[in-house]
């Protein structure tokens, strides 16, 4: 797969990114069937397959259970071969999510992620929105904290995994990267993607396969063709621990991009 520019960040990402929630959490997730968290050997194998397929983008978060700790311990190859996107704001504890978008928590969360991921920088950190995008951006301290961390060189880019059109448009104005939802059944955030393309901001697409509810090769192909036809898309995140699915998805993405 040919790498794409992530907006004007200077970061180049594979058109398919690997989501890692299944590396560390199987509670309160929206996949169509239950799954067991893979052991270390299985995680290493999936990461090695991803790397061999040309995937360099890993999407993770503190809210993904022990996913970050496992990546920090198991990530194959050189750190600079990977683009690691993490998040701040959501805390998953004892089966439930809670949120903290304060300045202090944002700083502490990124510091913890750096330790867990065993790295001295993160390529991108996204605010993990609870749905109140504008309130978070305008009234909480997370945005200022991420700006400070970028100035210090601890993160290369910042953004938000947003949930509303007004919030996504604000992200495009104020930040480097927006993670938006887009798939065959949901097109409401297209104005965000169009704005990001005009401003040359990075766009990551979540739920492109509707959290695993798209089934079959033709369904996957149609879904990916739709996502990659949208304006400004840098990469589409898929979360899988199934090698066959990963290979199939990579083949489709490679043919479309």
Angle at 124 between CA 103 and CA 214, to 5 degrees: 115
Q: Which residues contact 219 (CB under 8 A, 6 or more apart)?
A: none
Rounded to an integer, what distance in angstroms lies between the CA atom of residue 53 and that of residue 39?
Answer: 21
Q: What is the pLDDT of residue 183?
A: 96
Q: What is the pLDDT of residues 190-209, one digit of tens each?
A: 999 999 999 999 999 999 99
Q: What is the pLDDT of residue 29?
A: 81
Which class is domain 4-256? alpha beta
**Catalytic, out of 31, 64, 121, 186:** 64
Alpha carbon separation from 11 to 81, 124, 159 (Å, rounded): 11, 9, 14
Rounded to an integer, what distance in angstroms lies between the CA atom of residue 205 and that of residue 136?
Answer: 21
Active site residue 121: no
The domain locations on the chain are 4-256
- Pairing relationship of beta strands 96-99 and 90-93 according to DSSP bridges: antiparallel
User: Quick check: 170 pLDDT over 80?
Assistant: yes
Residues 112-131, mean pLDDT to the nearest whole number: 98
Q: What is the pLDDT of residue 177?
A: 98
- Pairing relationship of beta strands 155-161 and 177-181 according to DSSP bridges: parallel
Q: Which residues contact 235 (CB under 8 A, 6 or more apart)?
A: 4, 6, 13, 14, 15, 16, 17, 57, 204, 205
What are the start-end ranges of the H helices in 181-216? 190-199
């Amino acid at each position: 797969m040919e790498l794409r520019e992530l907006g004007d960040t200077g970061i180049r990402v594979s058109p398919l990114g690997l989501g890692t929630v299944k590396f560390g959490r199987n509670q309160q997730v929206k996949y169509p069937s239950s799954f067991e968290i893979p052991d270390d050997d299985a995680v290493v194998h999936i990461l090695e397959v991803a790397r061999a397929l040309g995937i360099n983008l890993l999407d993770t978060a503190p809210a993904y259970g022990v996913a970050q700790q496992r990546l920090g311990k198991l990530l194959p190859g050189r750190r600079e071969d990977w683009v690691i996107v993490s998040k701040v704001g959501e805390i998953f504890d004892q089966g439930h999510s809670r949120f903290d978008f304060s300045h202090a928590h944002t700083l502490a969360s990124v510091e913890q992620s750096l330790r867990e991921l065993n790295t001295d920088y993160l390529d991108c950190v996204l605010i993990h929105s609870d749905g109140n995008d504008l309130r978070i951006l305008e009234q909480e301290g997370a945005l200022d904290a991420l700006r400070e961390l970028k100035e210090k060189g601890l993160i290369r880019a910042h953004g938000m995994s947003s949930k509303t059109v007004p919030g996504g448009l604000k992200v495009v104005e104020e930040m480097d990267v927006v993670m938006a939802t887009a798939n065959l059944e949901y097109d409401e955030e297209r104005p965000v993607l169009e704005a990001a393309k005009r401003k040359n901001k990075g766009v990551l697409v979540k739920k492109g396969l509707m959290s695993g509810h798209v089934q079959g090769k033709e369904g996957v192909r149609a879904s990916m063709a739709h996502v990659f036809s949208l304006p400004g898309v840098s990469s589409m995140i898929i979360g899988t621990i199934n090698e066959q699915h990963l290979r199939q998805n990579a083949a489709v993405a490679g043919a479309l991009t």
